[in-house]
Each structure stands twice: as C-alpha cells, then as structure tokens.
A and B are shown apart, each in its own frame.
Chain A
C-alpha cells in the first residue's frame, strides 16, 4: 500500500495505490497527516489505483472528511472502480462524500 500527497491546482490530492486493508490502515493514517492542515484547500482522494478498501480504510476517509468540513474544505473522491463503488454504496458513504 502506497499513499502519496500532492498539491495540484490548489487542491490537496491523496493518491492511493494497492490494498487499503486493516493491516495497512495505521501506516496510511500516518501518511494522511498532512491533510489535517487543509485550510483553504479542497481535498481529493484519488482511488484510481486503489484495489480494495476495508472498514478501517473507510474510517480514515471519514476522519479526513470530519476534519475538513469544519474548515470549509470539500472532500472529493475520484476514480473509484465498480467494486469500490459497491462498498461505498453499502456503507452509506455515497451520501457523505462528493464524487468527481
């Protein structure tokens, strides 16, 4: 699992590669730390190369959202595959996030 944070067109972009399962969650949580300081930026979670997401992975996404919202930042999710989309749909995350 690899997580890269980029700054692109004024947005903070987190690019995920691999499987975000329970084992990978702590390391990913660390990697997402820079997103805490997002004032003035929108956040994009790029899932194009994300193969799988577990419930602990979803928790991290939710944490990003919970942190960003009070600061007036939007959180967008891009590039999710059909299998990921079904996980987002089932857990009710499609109603919480904005998708690009």
Chain B
C-alpha cells in the first residue's frame, strides 16, 4: 500500500484499470458481459484488492437475491397466464397513431413499475407488432414508445429497473437502512409523465423502419439457398430443362458445387449435379415452393434422397439479438445449425437483400433469419438460443385458470407487504417466489429456467466493484477532487456527477455505471455534510435516462431487432430525452429531498 502514483495506491490503480477495461471490453468486444465482469472480479480477488469474503459478498447481496426471487415470481406469472392475460387485455383498439402511442405508454409504464421494465418490453413486443399491422404503421413507431414507457415507468419503484435495486442495495450496505419499495415513486412519476408527453410531442423523431418479417414476405429481392439431393431427377439436365432457371417469383443467380466452385452468372444450359446449392433471388415464399415442386431441400449437410427430407419441418423467422454468439460468424463457420437441427435459408438486413450465399453471410445484430426448423420442440429451440435469437412466432400460450388468480394475488400481496414495511423487500420477494411454487403457479422443475443467471452474475460483480472503489480510496480521492473543482457547491457537484454517470451509462450499462458512481457520490454528500438521499436518488434516476444508444438501455436492446432499428436511430429522440429528463430529475430530486438535514 506504500506505492503511490498521482495520489492513488497500487490497489486503487488495479481497481481503476480493471473497471475501465470492462468498459472497453463491453464497448469493443463480443465477450459476454458476465464473463467480462467475472473476469474483473477475479483480477480484484487475485491481486488482493478485495478479500474473499468481500469478493463473494456481492452474490448474496440484496439486488442479486431480490432479482433471483423476482425471476421465479415472473416465471409463475408467465406459467399461470397472468402476463398473457395482461397483454391480451391491457391494450385497447386504438383508432390513430397519436392515440395509440398514448394508449400504449400509459399501461405499460404502470406495469413496468411492478414487473420490471425489461419484462414488460419482452412481454409486449409481439402484441405491439400486431397493433402496428392493424394501424398500418411500421412497428418501430410503436416499439420505441414501448421501450421508453417501460424504462420510465420502471423508475417509479425499486423493482422497476435493475439499476434501482443496485443503488438501493448499495445504500443499505452503506447505511444499514433499507429503502422503501416506492422511494423513487414521486420523482419517477414526474419524469414518467414528462417523458411520455415528450415522446408523444416529438414523435417525428421516431424512425419508421420497415418490419423485418414483412420484408421476407413482400420484398421481391431476397436470396434463398436450396440443395439438390443426389437422387433428384434434375441431376444431369440443364437448369432450364429442369425448370429451375426462371422460377415463379425469382431466378437462379448462383450455383455452388459440392467442391465449393461457384458458377455465377448461371448460363441457362448449365448442368445440375447432385449436391449443388442453388442460390435464388426473389420472393422467398414462392421460391420455397421449389422444395415441394422440384424436390429441393434446405439443408446444412448433403442429402442423398428426396425421401430423407422431413416434409414436416417448418419455416420460422428470428432476429439476431444484441450480444448474440452468432454475430460476426457465418453459419458455415459455426456449429449452430448442427447443434439445433436448423438450416439457415435466407437473411435480411434492415429490410433489404444481403448479397451472396445466405449460409456464408457474416451475421450482424438485428439481422432477420429465415430458418428451417424441426417440426417439434419449438420452445426448446427458443429457450436454448434465447441469448442469440428472438423468434418472431414465439408462442407458448398458457391457460387461464384458478392459478392465474392465485399468482396475481401473490404478486399484489408481495407489493402490499413490502410497501407497508411489514417485511423487508428481500424477504417479501423470497416469500412470494416460494408461494408461487407452493401453490403450483410455477413448476419446481422449471424454476431455474426462468432465472437469468448471467444477470445475477453481473449484478453480484458490480456490487464488488463498488466495494473496491470505496475501499481503495478511489471514491475518497475523486470525491475530493470533484469537490475542489466544483467549489464545494452541492448542486454543481450533483449535476456534474449525474452528467458523468448518465454519460457512462450510455456506453456501458445503467447497472455498471450506478455501482461505480454510488460510492463516489455517497462520499461527496458526507464530505459536504449534506443529506445523501438527493445524491443517491439523482444517481438512480440519471443512469436510467440514457436513451441515446441501445447499449445504455436494456429495453432499447430488446426492441433493436424486432423494430429493424439502426444503431443511430435511438439517438435522434434519445439525446433530447436524455438532456431534458436529466434536468427534470435534478430539479425534482432537490425539490423533494432537503439538501441538509
């Protein structure tokens, strides 16, 4: 601890470099977030910055335990049909776009406060897409308001956004006092109302993007890959003789032979060999008819006989999600097809054709894939790949039964118990999770399926970073430095810190940013003899309003693929929302909480 450089100890430097490396890894590489966070935690443990006890304490901390229990509760709500009932009944039948935006944002923001913003967005994506078809507008025009509504509504309770729980958890470990579930309600409500009004007024900044799944149906220019089985009668004849040159809805643009030799352009008298991959451009549905009419196959491996083709296999469309392991790779470079018994038939990128063989295309986030899938086990396919792909036709329709009512009652009781402080939030969520299983709303053997372990690992690690930042004196030094710079003016300090925190949040994640800035802002409040509450609440709110990039907001990330958005689409409205809501947050927090006690 004797070595010091620029006022920071060696441990402090290790911590800072580690935390900054995570930011870099998250922004510039495809390493999964939980791996990056756990890697950083390992560095802190090995270098002795945190003790074993401190290093592991994060995983038993309030935010992690509450999240884990909450996943079980959500699992119960899904299985017992409560969430299904909500999506069916909450949305009405809007007559025009402006009304639709309002009609969508109001209930979803309220639900997000209770069910967590990410859950609400995931829940409503399909319903919103059906709406957009009815209203004849691009889904992006409604998905973006959905994401805003959920994130804004989520600001109203501790359960609404993950970062709220992280801040509340850190507050408890610093002060020993647990925060009320509805502590952020008042400022959250004001921000939500202003935010919703802003989205309605600034709707010209919401981009209209052609829906990806429709592009498969209607656009005339897509590339489809089909294989000629060995015993196909067309083998040995020319493409035009076999009726495979100009086909209904498209034309043959390329032949890839078994030895990867490419014939392009294809002359009409080119012969067909078994094992050829025929690449067509045109209307997908019509071209896929060739499977039935001409005995072609969608396949990742060679097919010997037409009889080997399972005619019951079906076409499903899916988006490549953010952080998907498929990004940057083509199907031929990965074992995805073999592992899941699927075949990639076509790729669409932002509503237009991607040239070349579909299975050789390096995929990007947001790409829409047309996959030929096994006839059964739809849910297993979705579940096994839930971090890589989102299926358009994600179904699973639960039955409405007595359990629906039971699980709804459990949820309401949980909120009543914790809001009236009968029990701390951690205890009530665990109790509710237990009740979901005891009353059969959530099946025992399905419990772990609903828990997103990756998020728990990230949350557990962020808590440890926060510990390291306090312990190594980084919080102290930065707190002092900022105070010196800002002339000990609490308003200026708060503004500068929130600006920084929300900026970092745009590029990393709200959870990471709140864990890093919490110890510093808490320290600053104490140094200025201020009430820490306005500082903490300002931090909680400002990390969530990072709407200008899909990285800063987990909800934006969810709608990125389904809305066929471009990366920069979020900035147009997001920057305005970020600036205005930050000002509102700082103002309202200081009106509600006294700066000095």
Contact = CB atoms under 8 A, between A and B. Distances in A.
A92 B261 contact: no
A66 B188 CA distance: 78
B261 A90 contact: no
Given A59-B271, A91-B275, A54 B259 contact: yes
A89 B274 CA distance: 9
Nearest to B236: A96
Given A54-B261, A55-B259, A90-B302, A95 B275 contact: no
Interface string B267-282: 0000101110000000
Nearest to B261: A55
B232 interface: yes
B471 interface: no
16 contacts: A54-B259, A54-B261, A55-B257, A55-B258, A55-B259, A62-B271, A65-B236, A66-B271, A89-B230, A90-B258, A91-B258, A92-B236, A93-B236, A95-B231, A95-B235, A96-B236
Interface in B229-254: 230-232, 235-236
A65 B259 CA distance: 21
Contact of A90 (B232, B271, B274): B274
A65 B237 CA distance: 11
A22 B261 contact: yes
B261 A91 contact: no
B259 A92 contact: no
Contacts of B304: 90
B269 to A, nearest CB: 10
A22 B262 CA distance: 11
A52 B182 CA distance: 75
Contacts of A59: 271, 273
Contacts of B273: 55, 58-59, 62, 91-93
A89 B273 CA distance: 11
Contacts of B261: 22, 54-56
A91 B271 contact: no
A73 B421 CA distance: 96
Which applies to chain A's interface (DSSP): helix, strand, loop or mixed? Answer: helix
Contact of B275 (A62, A66, A90): A90
B463 to A, nearest CB: 57
A92 B274 CA distance: 5
Contacts of B302: 90
A92 B232 contact: yes
A32 to B, nearest CB: 16
A39 B109 CA distance: 84
Contacts of A65: 236
Contacts of A93: 235-236, 273-274
Contacts of B271: 59, 62, 66
Interface of B: 230-232, 235-236, 257-259, 261, 271, 273-275, 302, 304
6 closest Cβ pairs, A-B complex:
A92-B274, A55-B257, A92-B235, A91-B274, A91-B273, A92-B230
A18 to B, nearest CB: 16
Interface of A: 22, 54-56, 58-59, 62, 65-66, 87, 89-93, 95-96
Given A55-B257, A59-B273, A93-B235, 9 more contacts: A22-B261, A59-B271, A65-B236, A87-B258, A90-B274, A91-B235, A92-B230, A92-B231, A95-B231
A22 B263 CA distance: 12
A95 to B, nearest CB: 7
Nearest to A87: B258
Nearest to B304: A90
Contacts of A95: 231, 235-236
A1 to B, nearest CB: 16
A94 B330 CA distance: 33
A96 B273 CA distance: 11
Which of A22, A58, A92 has most chain B Cβ within 10 Å?
A92
Contacts of A87: 258
A89 to B, nearest CB: 7
Given A58-B273, A62-B236, A62-B271, A90 B230 contact: yes
Contacts of B257: 54-55
A55 B235 CA distance: 13
A90 B271 CA distance: 15
B586 to A, nearest CB: 69
Nearest to B257: A55
A87 B275 CA distance: 10
Contacts of A56: 261
A96 B261 CA distance: 21
A58 B275 CA distance: 12
Contacts of A58: 273
A65 to B, nearest CB: 8
B235 A96 contact: yes
A89 B259 CA distance: 14
A54 B273 CA distance: 12
Contacts of B274: 90-93
A65 B261 CA distance: 22
A65 B273 CA distance: 14
Contacts of B230: 89-92
A95 B273 CA distance: 11
Nearest to A56: B261
A13 to B, nearest CB: 22
Nearest to B273: A91
A51 to B, nearest CB: 14
A87 B274 CA distance: 10
A95 B305 CA distance: 13
Contacts of A55: 257-259, 261, 273
A60 to B, nearest CB: 11
Contacts of B236: 62, 65, 92-93, 95-96
B24 to A, nearest CB: 45
A59 B238 CA distance: 11
Nearest to B263: A55
Contacts of B275: 90-92
A57 to B, nearest CB: 9
A23 to B, nearest CB: 11
A66 B261 CA distance: 22
Contacts of A62: 236, 271, 273
Which of A58, A89, A90, A91 has most chain B Cβ within 10 Å?
A91
A58 B235 CA distance: 12
Nearest to B232: A92
